[in-house]
């Protein structure tokens, strides 16, 4: 593709053929445009010389970047991240016809995957993209970041389009929205689940975190498209004002909303719901435990309805939902019936919701194994410790993903909030001990890592899967001495 077609500029740009895009100088090839983006530890402009040596023919940079004129064609933009996303959209071209996005602190992965599942039931080849990777009809799951960089996003969208997949649900993280990674994606609807403390290692304040998520509705979702809003989030009124002001349609989900749970009855493996929508009531058996799972399922149904799904078929399809990996996933049971669950809860609000959800299913004691990630928001550690001590009967504090921090210090900061907890550094040992302590009627939940397949310790990623670890402990009968 000619550079002039990417930037709407003629002159020399019309003579430059662009073979690819990259924001990592190490992956630049002949004919590439290199996006010299500022990072947390370095300036992209510092790597322009390396990019040129590897064959870059053009550079995208901030106007203040110090790049010698004449060495390479330079495209400047005061917001180079957004310009890169728009370039990627043009370069790769194709996108699924119907794409939706979901943001919020908790529930994004579940909602995106539930949307994909509902569309599948309704007969559409579909995909979801986010923390769980790219999951698509007839295609192997491929890993990604929660919101990949814009080059990867648009490359994946084009791949899905070529594969005949015309329905896609995306997770929109606060990082991804703040860094303009989803710009250039044509969205027909977007949803907001909830808001609580998270990612304050990245965002300066809680308000900054919220404002990043608001970009989905205040900038990316175009007038005439639909916002699916959870009435039960404390920022609901602010969201409504923004959506009305921009000419967005609104579909409300939750108490007092258009799509809502009228009544529920918990069962051993799910819940019997009466769901209300458009003056109708539907009795359904949802094969998922937890009020928050029902909320996520209805938000997903709202996105499908907002993009043309038949309401009756959409709501009925909820009976065929399957659990999302690492989200209140039953890993197994002891011979006398005690249950072991794995969940991704890694924020104070998510941990509280998780433990409150499991309490009604616990006839004996509620056990918890958890830790907190390193190089992330330190302020939430004692908060999560306090929640653990207050809502669980037995707590083991262990390592999560220490990353570059001292794991023992992370545990100490958690234990400041739950001084009665047991400390076991090795995560497998902690799981073994917790399983070994189970008695009939007990429930154990392993929180924080969910679907993750590795444990990040320093620069290394060590193979580790909470579900596999739990099943190994169950097979061995708990603590291995």
Looking at residue 12, what is its pLDDT?
Answer: 83
pLDDT of residue 481: 41
Burial 89-126 (b: 16+ CB within 10 A, else e): bebbeebbebbbbbbbbbbbbbbbbbbbbbbbbbebbb
Three-state DSSP state, 18: coil
Map out the domains of the chain with their CATH numbers.
3-78 (3.40.1390.10), 91-320 (3.40.1190.10), 329-476 (3.90.190.20)
The pLDDT of residue 46 is: 78
Between β-strands 126-130 and 133-136, what pairing exists: parallel, antiparallel or unpaired? antiparallel
Outline where 218-290 has alpha helix (H).
Answer: 236-245
Q: Which residues of the chain have pLDDT under 50?
A: 40-41, 480-481
Q: Is 464 helix (H, G, I), strand (E, B) or coil?
A: coil
Strand partners, 305: none
Q: Cα dist. 476→249, 329, 333 in Å?
A: 54, 20, 12
The separation between CA 247 and the C-alpha centre of its own chain, rounded to angstroms, equals: 27
Residue 268 has a pLDDT of: 82
DSSP 8-state assignment for residue 47:
G
Closest CA to 456 of 413, 380, 405: 405
Which structure tokens are listed for 92? 């790769």
pLDDT given at position 14: 87
Q: Which H helix or E strand runs over 48?
A: helix 48-53
In total, the chain counts a number of residues equal to 481
Contacts of 131 (CB under 8 A, 6+ apart): 108, 109, 146, 171, 344, 451
Distance between CA atoms of residues 61 and 50, nearest Å:
15
Task: Name the 3-class secondary structure at 161.
Answer: helix
Q: Which residues are within 8 A (CB) of 446 and not within 5 positions of it... i.e. 6 or more apart?
A: 331, 340, 341, 342, 343, 369, 370, 431, 434, 466, 469, 470
Q: Give CA torsion, residues 228, 232, 234, 239, to 10 deg.
A: 20
- Determine contact, residues 435/408, Cβ cutoff 8 Å: no
- Antiparallel, parallel or unpaired: β 329-333 and 58-61: unpaired
Burial of 169: CB neighbours in 10 Å, binned 0-12, 13-18, 19+: buried
Alpha carbon distance 85, 113 (integer Å): 24
Tokens, residue 257: 């909303």
């Amino acid at each position: 593709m000619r550079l002039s077609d990417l930037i709407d500029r003629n002159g020399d740009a019309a003579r430059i053929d662009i073979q690819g895009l990259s924001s990592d100088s190490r992956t630049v090839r002949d004919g590439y445009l290199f996006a010299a983006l500022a990072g947390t530890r370095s300036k992209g402009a510092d790597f322009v010389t390396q990019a040129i040596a590897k064959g870059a023919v053009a550079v995208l940079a901030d106007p203040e970047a110090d790049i010698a004129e004449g060495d390479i064609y330079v495209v400047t933009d005061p917001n180079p991240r957004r310009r890169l996303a728009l370039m990627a959209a043009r370069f790769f071209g194709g996108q699924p016809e119907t794409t939706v996005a979901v943001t919020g602190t908790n529930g994004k992965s579940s909602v995106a995957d539930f949307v994909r599942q509902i569309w599948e039931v309704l007969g559409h080849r579909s995909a979801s993209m986010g923390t769980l990777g790219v999951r698509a009809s007839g295609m192997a799951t491929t890993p990604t970041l929660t919101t990949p960089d814009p080059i990867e996003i648009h490359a994946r969208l084009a791949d899905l389009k070529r594969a005949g997949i015309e329905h896609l649900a995306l997770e929109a993280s606060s990082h991804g929205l703040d860094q303009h990674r989803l710009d250039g994606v044509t969205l027909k609807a977007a949803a907001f689940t909830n808001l609580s403390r998270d990612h304050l290692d990245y965002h300066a304040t809680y308000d900054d975190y919220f404002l990043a998520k608001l970009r989905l509705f205040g900038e990316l979702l175009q007038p005439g498209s639909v916002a699916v809003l959870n009435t039960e989030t404390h920022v609901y009124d602010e969201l409504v004002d923004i959506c009305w002001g921009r000419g967005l349609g609104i579909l409300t989900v939750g108490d007092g909303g258009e799509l809502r749970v009228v009544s529920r009855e918990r069962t051993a493996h799910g819940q019997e719901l009466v769901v209300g929508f458009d003056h109708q009531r539907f009795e359904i058996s949802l094969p998922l435990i937890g009020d928050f799972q029902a909320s996520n399922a209805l938000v997903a149904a709202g996105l499908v309805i907002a993009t043309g799904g038949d309401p009756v078929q959409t709501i009925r399809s909820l009976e065929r939902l399957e659990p999302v990996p690492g989200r209140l996933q039953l890993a197994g049971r002891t011979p006398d019936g005690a249950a072991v669950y794995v969940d991704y809860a890694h924020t104070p609000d998510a941990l509280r919701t998780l433990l409150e959800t499991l309490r009604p299913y616990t006839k004996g004691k509620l056990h918890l194994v958890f830790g907190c990630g390193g190089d992330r928001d330190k302020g939430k550690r004692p908060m999560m410790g306090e929640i653990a001590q207050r809502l669980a009967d037995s707590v083991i504090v262990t390592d999560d993903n220490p990353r570059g921090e001292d794991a023992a210090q992370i545990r100490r900061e958690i234990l400041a909030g739950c001084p009665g907890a047991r400390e076991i550094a090795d995560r497998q040992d902690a799981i073994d001990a917790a399983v070994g302590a189970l008695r009939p009627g007990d429930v154990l939940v392993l929180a924080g890592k969910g679907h993750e397949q590795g444990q990040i310790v320093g620069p290394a990623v060590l193979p580790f899967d909470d579900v596999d670890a739990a099943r190994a402990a169950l097979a061995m009968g708990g603590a291995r001495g």
